[in-house]
Amino acid sequence: MSAWKACDLRGKYPSEVNGDLFYMIGRSSARLLPAGSTVLVAGDFRLTTPELKGRLIDGLQSAALRILDAGSIPTPAAYFAHRSLQTAALFVVTASHNPPGYNGLKLMVGHEPPGEALFTALREGLDGAPAPALGSVEPYDVISAYRAWLTGRWRRPLAKFRSPVLIDIGHGAMAGVASAVLEALEIPCQVLFAEADGRFPGRSPDTSRARHLEALSDRVRKSPAVVGIAFDGDGDRVAAVDGNGGYITSDQLAILLSRKMLATHPGGHVVCDIKLSDAVRRAIQEAGGVPVIERSGHSFIRQKMRQLDAIFGCEASGHYFYRELGGGDDGLFTALMILELIVEQGPLETLAAALAPIFATSDLRIPDGVLPFTEIVERLRLALPVLDEVTIDGVRFRTEGGFVLARPSVTEAATSIRIEGHSQPELARLVECAVGALGEVAGNQINNG
């Protein structure tokens, strides 16, 4: 059951996720829904998605459900359809940013983000016994309405944006969708890794690391594009490079977008995942907002967004959440928000250069097979000059020079590490201390990050 994560299902195919498991999940899910309910099913472009989606639908058909099959689409488009159609449930077969050999499932039963109770109920209801197909299945075109919504939403704010944009699809689910929206808005764009390909031959589907966007940065430097936008495998994460090809970190983007949102919603709550820099929280406070720290993971951020009616939410991984989307996230929506930011405030490189420097590592991963989470925590606790600990999500060790965060990843069998210093020398000292505590193999993971 290692594929069961805190917010979704994710694992290697076929050892951790396979058709039989997806059939059982479909049957278990169907038992949680009233007869006659309408549910939406979609998937990404991974090579195993058609099989898994088909078996999931077979399982869902064991109840008298009306099943809308949206085909292969970006996850945000599926969320859009779930909101607009008010379907009883949503199932998206995707492994998001994970490597090609993985697959998984994002789901909503009702309109609340999935939580522990839902996953417990699904696991307790797993039953592989065959059942008659009582439900109906029909194709449903989500993309036409999704494109029309985004085009209408952004036509006036981006009416004056006519500078070229370079978008990096990464062979993911935004193929053909992001470019069509920009073209409808009359924004000139070029597309990198444009074709959907579940093998992801051009680059990693993970956009959270600068090294995965080197091709985008290089193309932007050689082109007249004023910004480069990259999407992850299923289109809900986004990353950006400026007009000089410089990587804009998720911390920087979180600050810029938080300020933008607070300019029209003064005093609003902004939900920040615990991995983000302290600079993000300080910037929110300086802009008159209320930063709220939450554990990392899209379900947890969305739950807190809805609980507080927050205006905005941000994660170090590149997810950005909006009250306008019911607390949800959408990579293309954020990309258009970035273009509006440029219209209002100027080039991205100028805005980023005006921010105070942030001295932090990226989100580093130490596989469980290298060191288990509990041992990592104990080694760090003994090695660091700890002032206090925050345990909302893993353990965040605060020191006089910064912090070291260690937390179990919600998407991988790994410990996520992030280190921030108040200056470059203090960051270097904390990294050196962590490497010394965790040993050569784990230390190499940090140094290579």
**Catalytically annotated residues:** 96
- CA angle, corner 122, sides to 101 and 44, nearest 5? 35
Query: How far apart, in Å, are the Cα atoms of 241 and each of 226, 397, 407?
Result: 9, 31, 28
Q: What CA–CA distance (Å, rounded) separates 259 from 253?
A: 10
Q: What Rg do the C-alpha atoms of the chain give, in angstroms?
A: 22
Q: Which of 338, 303, 297 is nearest to 315 (CA)?
A: 297
- The closest of 55, 64, 51 to 25, measured between CA atoms, is 55
For the chain, what's the residue count?
449
**CB atoms inside a 10 Å sphere around CB 129:** 7
Q: Provide the 3-class DSSP secondary structure of residue 384.
A: coil
Q: What angle do CA 291, 295, 320 make, to 5 degrees?
A: 65
Residue 26 in contact with residue 20, Cβ under 8 Å? no
Query: Helix-strand-coil percent breakdown of the chain, rounded to 5?
Result: 40, 20, 40
Cis, bond preceding 14 (omega within 30 deg of 0)? yes
Distance CA 314, CA 321 (A): 6
Contact 245, 263 (CB under 8 A): no
Provide CB contacts within 8 A for 189, sequence distance 6+: 164, 165, 166, 167, 179, 182, 183
How far separated are the first and last CA of the chain, in Å rounded?
29
Report the candidate in 144, 165, 147, 216 with the shortest Cα–Cα distance to residue 340.
165
Query: How far is 360 from 374, CA to CA, in rounded Å?
Result: 23
